[in-house]
């Protein structure tokens, strides 16, 4: 596996399928690096479910709080940064108070990183921590934690992520339990967590959910969309780019969509090449 | 008569909790709701405690690795590396204002975060190569998988679906018709399996958990 | 005498006192589930023979792979699944994976094959795997042959699980790769490398989202529920097997409910459908 110059195979078709992983990786890295450094500006389309997600956030009840439950981790910063930033900027731009909490151990660090970035944007000017948003930190227990939070958030958390008691945060006085929640944004770096959110937030308390999932996760979330709990879907980096366009909060997603387009196209081409090699080699073996 | 306390007590606790939660679900809102809410709070406490157990498990594992391996090898290196990182993070957290403090955050975001992301970058080399080598359409099922997977891959390349709208139409059909049916079927099957798992836990027939 | 309206009102009031409003259908289904389960548990303890689960080629393939491992002197690699955990919806799949680990470990101990276990980035599974493998080797009387440092390989993170797993499969050779549990991208890299090294790939996944990888890349796959059924079969536990058969009956009940709802929708009886599903 170590010699990148080695191309296995005797015939042309066998050699076509014998490329070393190094060259494929280099091709992919270039397809990601070049548009990231110099965005090409390829057009993108928006999907109905992202538009619905944006509308749901915009139209969330003003007298209630938005809960943002988050499971993305630091390892997925590159994938999560665009959409996390866009969601937060849209929440600020539309003056929607929100509370973030984490269901994975390294999510608070990601939330902190994103918050520091967003606070430098125009949408965050004038926003006050404790009044416009609160970061609660990590809670263990998975789906059981949702129950605790939904029934009594002040029992589930005594302080926020920075150690401030909740009674010192004005926003926390407005929320006791699920009755004070207008919308749930369920973000997770997997595909199946949405089922837990639907079970707990929607089935029990009839709260609408915006599903913010990783690329490919819409296939699971769509089972509950548009009227079985999930009112909108934000799918990975593409969803982030669409949100930036819809909310006019332009950021890094444009270069990411260019990079995604090129890299996905290359993967698709490689799969086709692999199959041409397979069928070509088989044909030769049958004839010869 | 022997009293197998190691499995008997956890089983009694498990069965009692499942019964309380089930009854609370079934009966109208009442005193059991407060009991269930208290139990779920305890669940989060136990969930937090498992991190302590996990940490202890790792410390024991790497200590054993250090002690048992006589000849100096990479096993020692990994064990020492674990202890250095583990103790450093705990020390920095305790001394500089906890995990939300500046020093810990700086260390985590700029060291751990970058290393974790670098791990993902390795996938950029391996996953496409694995797809290129192994995604071969050898059967009817594989052809169907290839067509649908291909379509969804191109749909998720934002500019390709903007340039070729039929990909978006076909992808939406795949997601909203066959995939949706499969998702719902799989969810139902998972739900049935979970109900049975819960009933086995309730009656002490699930050996994997308490044995 | 009560008239019909009063009788319905009286029934509703009594109903509301006994069951939570809006949960009637769920409670009926739960009671049916309990009844079916109890029936099959009773059958499992009785003398009457129980229907057997069908044969799964993947189970035979594991034994075949162990034999191949002895012949080629290359290890059997067992991955517990990079997303496996004993919580939430991964619990059932992880428990099945642990059953398969026990089965594979016993087969390896019996045949004298080398075994390398990739343990999920979840420390709790380390203790489980340690206990199961030790138990397997003790049961075969081969405790002295168990080298835990070689066999049990814990990786603290999903990416190191992947890179180390690929390194081990490449460096040590791969007679067979068995990957079971809550899988993620492992379905792609593990079986691609296994195929490249000429090994047999056996996989089972409970997270149906990654099932496509198994279907395309594994030589023998157990998709979704098949993994639970095969796990019940290899455990040899009658209660596990009968509860699985009870699960099939539950599915028939659900299929019946879906058919009723489908016919009601076609007939325009949306009130019946919303009464059943309360949405």
**How close does chain B come to A70, measured CA to CA in Å?**
16
- In chain B, the residue whose alpha carbon lies closest to the alpha carbon of A14 is B133
The Cα–Cα gap between A229 and A221 comes to: 10
Q: What is the pLDDT at residue B37? A: 87
On the question of pLDDT at A239 being above 70, the answer is yes
**Which of the other chains make 3 or more beta carbon contacts under 8 angstroms with chain C?**
A, B
Residues of C with CB under 8 A from a CB of A: 83, 87-89, 157-159, 170, 184, 207, 209, 279
CB-CB neighbors (< 8 A) of B157 in chain A: 260-261, 264-265
CB contact at 8 A, B151 and B171 = yes
The Cα–Cα gap between B207 and C128 comes to: 13
Cα–Cα distance list, C19 to A200, B199, C5, C12, C16 (Å): 19, 20, 21, 10, 5
- In chain A, the residue whose alpha carbon lies closest to the alpha carbon of C209 is A191
Q: What is the pLDDT at residue A3? A: 72
Which segment of A143-157, C101-115, C227-241 scores lowest on mean pLDDT?
A: C227-241
Whether C159 and B123 lie within 8 Å, measured CB to CB:
yes
**Helices A48-58 and A77-93 sit at what angle, rounded to 10 degrees?**
40
Helix (H, G, I), strand (E, B) or coil at C208: helix
Indicate if the alpha-carbon torsion angle A49, A54, A59, A61 is positive or negative. positive
**Which of the other chains make 3 or more beta carbon contacts under 8 angstroms with chain B?**
A, C
The Cα–Cα gap between C220 and B70 comes to: 40
Neighbours of A228 (CB within 10 A): 16
The Cα–Cα gap between C199 and C220 comes to: 12
Determine the average pLDDT of the residues in A93-105. 95
On the question of pLDDT at C41 being above 50, the answer is yes
* Bond before C119 cis per omega within 30 degrees: no
Determine the average pLDDT of the residues in B162-174. 89
pLDDT category of residue A287 using cuts at 50, 70 and 90: low
On the question of pLDDT at A288 being above 70, the answer is no
On the question of pLDDT at B126 being above 70, the answer is yes
**How close does chain A come to C88, measured CA to CA in Å?**
7
Determine the average pLDDT of the residues in B148-173. 87
The answer to ipTM > 0.90 is: no
On the question of pLDDT at C235 being above 60, the answer is yes
Q: What is the pLDDT at residue C211? A: 76
Q: What is the pLDDT at residue A228? A: 86
Whether B192 and C123 lie within 8 Å, measured CB to CB:
no
pLDDT category of residue A93 using cuts at 50, 70 and 90: very high
Whether A271 and B119 lie within 8 Å, measured CB to CB:
no
Q: What is the pLDDT at residue C115? A: 96
Looking at per-residue pLDDT, the higher value among B44 and A287 belongs to B44
Nearest to A109 among B50, B108, B137 (CB): B108
The Cα–Cα gap between C162 and C155 comes to: 9
Q: Output the six-digit token pair for C224.
A: 């979704």
CB-CB neighbors (< 8 A) of C195 in chain B: 133-134
CB-CB neighbors (< 8 A) of C87 in chain A: 142
B210 CB burial (10 A radius; 0-12, 13-18, 19+)? middle
Whether B152 and A216 lie within 8 Å, measured CB to CB:
yes
Note the pLDDT tens digit of each residue in C248-265: 899 999 899 889 888 988
Nearest to C88 among A1, A191, A196 (CB): A196
Q: What one-character-per-residue DSSP string does chain A give?
A: ---TT----SSHHHHHT---HHHHHHHHHHHHHHHHHS---------HHHHHHHHHHHTS-TTSEEEEEE---GGGHHHHHHHHHHHHHHHHHTT--EEEEESSTTHHHHHHHHHHHHTTSGGGTT--BTTTEEEEEE--STHHHHHHHHH-HHHH-SB-TTS-BGGG-GGGGG-SSGGGEEEEEEE-SSSSHHHHHIIIIIIHH---EEEEE-TTTHHHHGGGTTTSSEEEEEEHHHHHHHHHHHHT---THHHHHHHHHHHHHHHHHHHHHHHHHHHHHHHHHHH-
Mean pLDDT of chain C: 86
Q: What is the pLDDT at residue C177? A: 96
Nearest to C216 among B123, B127, B135 (CB): B135
- Cα first-last separation, chain B: 19
Q: Output the six-digit token pair for C2.
A: 């009560």
- In chain C, the residue whose alpha carbon lies closest to the alpha carbon of B47 is C87
Which segment of A148-152, B9-13, C211-215 scores lowest on mean pLDDT?
A: C211-215
Sheet holding C200-205, edge to edge: C152-154, C115-119, C76-79, C176-181, C200-205, C220-223
Contact with chain B for residue C147, Cβ under 8 A: no
On the question of pLDDT at C229 being above 80, the answer is yes
The Cα–Cα gap between C6 and C262 comes to: 32
Note the pLDDT tens digit of each residue in A122-150: 999 999 999 999 999 999 888 889 999 99
Q: Output the six-digit token pair for A116.
A: 């520091």
pLDDT category of residue C1 using cuts at 50, 70 and 90: low
Contact with chain B for residue C134, Cβ under 8 A: no
CB contact at 8 A, C164 and C170 = no
Determine the average pLDDT of the residues in A210-233. 90
Whether B142 and C215 lie within 8 Å, measured CB to CB:
yes
Q: What is the pLDDT at residue B1? A: 47
CB contact at 8 A, C99 and C135 = no
Q: What is the pLDDT at residue A173? A: 93
Q: What is the pLDDT at residue B156? A: 85
CB-CB neighbors (< 8 A) of A264 in chain B: 153-154, 156-157, 160
Q: Where are the beta strands (DSSP E) in chain C?
A: 76-79, 115-119, 152-154, 176-181, 200-205, 220-223
pLDDT category of residue A286 using cuts at 50, 70 and 90: low
Which segment of A100-109, A254-263, B56-65 scores lowest on mean pLDDT?
A: A254-263
Which segment of B118-122, C115-119, C173-177, C232-236 scores lowest on mean pLDDT?
A: B118-122
Determine the average pLDDT of the residues in C24-50. 86
The Cα–Cα gap between C225 and C218 comes to: 17
Which segment of A94-103, B115-124, C114-123, C130-139 scores lowest on mean pLDDT?
A: B115-124
Note the pLDDT tens digit of each residue in A163-181: 999 999 999 999 999 999 9
Cα–Cα distance list, C42 to C45, C241, C242, C248 (Å): 5, 12, 9, 16
Cα–Cα distance list, C46 to B199, B205, C39, C239 (Å): 19, 16, 11, 11
What is the helix, strand, coil percentage profile of chain C, to 5?
65, 10, 25
**Quick one: DSSP state of residue C224?**
T
**How close does chain B come to C19, measured CA to CA in Å?**
5
Note the pLDDT tens digit of each residue in B49-106: 888 888 898 899 899 888 887 788 888 888 999 999 999 999 999 998 888 888 899 8
Q: Where are the domains of chain B?
A: 1-95
Determine the average pLDDT of the residues in C137-151. 92
Nearest to A222 among B135, B160, B175 (CB): B175
pLDDT category of residue A106 using cuts at 50, 70 and 90: confident
Q: Per mean pLDDT, which of A231-245, A258-272, B119-133, C34-48 is the most reliable? A: A231-245
The Cα–Cα gap between A88 and A249 comes to: 10
Whether B44 and A42 lie within 8 Å, measured CB to CB:
no
Nearest to B44 among A76, A148, A273 (CB): A148
CB-CB neighbors (< 8 A) of C89 in chain A: 192, 195-196
Note the pLDDT tens digit of each residue in C58-97: 999 999 999 999 999 999 999 998 888 877 677 878 888 9
The Cα–Cα gap between A138 and A133 comes to: 16
CB-CB neighbors (< 8 A) of C159 in chain A: 75
Note the pLDDT tens digit of each residue in A23-51: 888 888 888 888 888 888 788 888 999 99
On the question of pLDDT at B152 being above 50, the answer is yes
Mean pLDDT of chain B: 84
Note the pLDDT tens digit of each residue in C150-195: 999 998 788 889 888 999 999 999 999 999 988 878 888 899 889 8
Nearest to B199 among C34, C92, C98 (CB): C34
CB contact at 8 A, A246 and A219 = no
Indicate if the alpha-carbon torsion angle B95, B97, B101, B102 is positive or negative. negative
């Amino acid at each position: 596996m170590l010699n990148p110059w080695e191309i296995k195979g005797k015939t042309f078709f066998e050699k076509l399928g014998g490329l070393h992983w190094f060259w494929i990786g280099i091709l992919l890295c270039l397809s990601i690096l070049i548009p990231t450094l110099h965005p090409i500006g390829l057009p993108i389309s928006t999907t109905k479910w992202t538009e619905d997600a944006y509308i749901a956030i915009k139209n969330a009840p003003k007298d209630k709080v938005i809960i943002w439950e988050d499971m993305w981790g630091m390892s997925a910063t590159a994938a999560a940064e665009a959409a996390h930033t866009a969601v937060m900027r849209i929440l600020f731009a539309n003056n929607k108070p929100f509370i973030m909490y984490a269901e994975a151990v390294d999510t608070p660090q990601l939330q902190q990183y994103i918050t520091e970035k967003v606070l430098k944007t125009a949408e965050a000017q004038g926003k006050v921590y404790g009044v416009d948003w609160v970061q609660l930190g990590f809670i263990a227990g998975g789906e059981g934690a949702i129950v605790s939070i939904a029934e009594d958030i002040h029992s589930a958390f005594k302080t926020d992520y920075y150690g401030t008691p909740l009674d010192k945060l004005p926003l926390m006085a407005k929320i006791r339990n699920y009755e004070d929640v207008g919308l749930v944004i369920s973000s997770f770096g997997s595909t199946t967590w949405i089922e837990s959110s639907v079970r707990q937030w929607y089935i029990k308390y009839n709260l609408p959910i915006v599903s913010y999932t990783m690329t490919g996760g819409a296939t699971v979330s769509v089972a509950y969309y548009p009227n079985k709990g999930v009112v909108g879907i934000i799918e990975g980096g593409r969803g982030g780019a669409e949100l930036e366009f819809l909310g006019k909060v332009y950021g890094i997603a444009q270069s990411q969509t260019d990079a995604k387009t090129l890299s996905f196209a290359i993967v698709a081409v490689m799969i086709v090449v692999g199959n041409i090699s397979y069928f070509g080699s088989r044909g030769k073996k049958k004839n010869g | 008569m022997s009293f197998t306390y190691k499995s008997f007590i956890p089983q009694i606790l498990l069965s009692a909790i499942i019964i309380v939660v089930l009854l609370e679900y079934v009966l109208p809102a009442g005193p059991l709701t407060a009991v269930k809410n208290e139990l779920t709070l305890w669940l989060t406490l136990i969930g937090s405690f498992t991190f302590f157990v996990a940490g202890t498990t790792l410390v024991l594992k790497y200590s054993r690795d250090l002690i048992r391996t006589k000849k100096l090898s990479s096993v020692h290196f990994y064990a020492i590396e674990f202890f250095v990182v583990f103790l450093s993070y705990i020390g920095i957290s305790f001394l500089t204002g906890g995990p939300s403090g500046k020093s810990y955050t700086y260390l985590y975001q700029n060291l751990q975060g970058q290393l974790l992301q670098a791990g993902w970058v390795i996938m950029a080399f391996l996953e496409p190569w694995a797809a290129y080598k192994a995604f071969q359409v050898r059967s009817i099922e594989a052809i169907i998988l290839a067509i649908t997977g291909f379509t969804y891959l191109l749909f998720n390349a934002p500019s390709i679906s903007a340039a070729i709208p039929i990909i978006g139409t076909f992808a939406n059909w795949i997601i909203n018709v066959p995939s949706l049916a499969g998702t719902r079927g799989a969810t139902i099957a998972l739900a049935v399996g979970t109900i049975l798992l819960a009933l086995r836990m309730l009656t002490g027939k699930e050996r994997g958990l308490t044995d | 005498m009560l008239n019909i309206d009063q009788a319905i009102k009286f029934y509703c009031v009594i109903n509301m006192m006994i069951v939570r409003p809006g949960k009637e259908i769920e409670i009926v289904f739960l009671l049916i589930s309990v009844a079916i389960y109890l029936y099959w548990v009773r059958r499992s303890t009785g003398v009457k023979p129980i229907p057997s689960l069908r044969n799964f080629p993947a189970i035979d393939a594991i034994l075949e792979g162990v034999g191949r491992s002895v012949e080629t002197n290359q290890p059997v690699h067992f991955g517990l699944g990079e997303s496996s955990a004993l919580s939430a919806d991964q619990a059932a799949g992880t428990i099945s994976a642990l059953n398969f680990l026990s089965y594979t470990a016993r087969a390896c101990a019996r045949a004298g094959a080398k075994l390398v276990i990739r343990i999920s980035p979840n420390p709790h599974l380390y203790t489980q795997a340690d206990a199961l493998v030790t138990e397997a080797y003790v049961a075969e009387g081969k405790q002295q042959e168990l080298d835990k440092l070689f066999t049990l390989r814990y990786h603290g993170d999903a990416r190191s699980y992947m890179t180390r797993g690929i390194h081990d499969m490449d460096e040590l050779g791969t007679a067979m790769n068995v990957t079971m549990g809550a899988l993620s991208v492992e379905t792609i890299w593990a079986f691609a490398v296994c195929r490249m090294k000429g090994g047999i790939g056996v996989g089972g996944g409970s997270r149906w989202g990654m099932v496509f990888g198994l279907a395309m890349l594994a030589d023998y796959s157990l998709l979704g529920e098949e993994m639970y059924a095969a796990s019940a079969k290899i455990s040899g536990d009658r209660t596990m097997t009968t509860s699985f058969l009870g699960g099939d009956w539950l599915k028939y009940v659900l299929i019946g409910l879906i058919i009723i709802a489908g016919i009601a929708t076609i007939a325009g009886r949306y009130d019946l459908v919303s009464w059943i599903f309360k949405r």
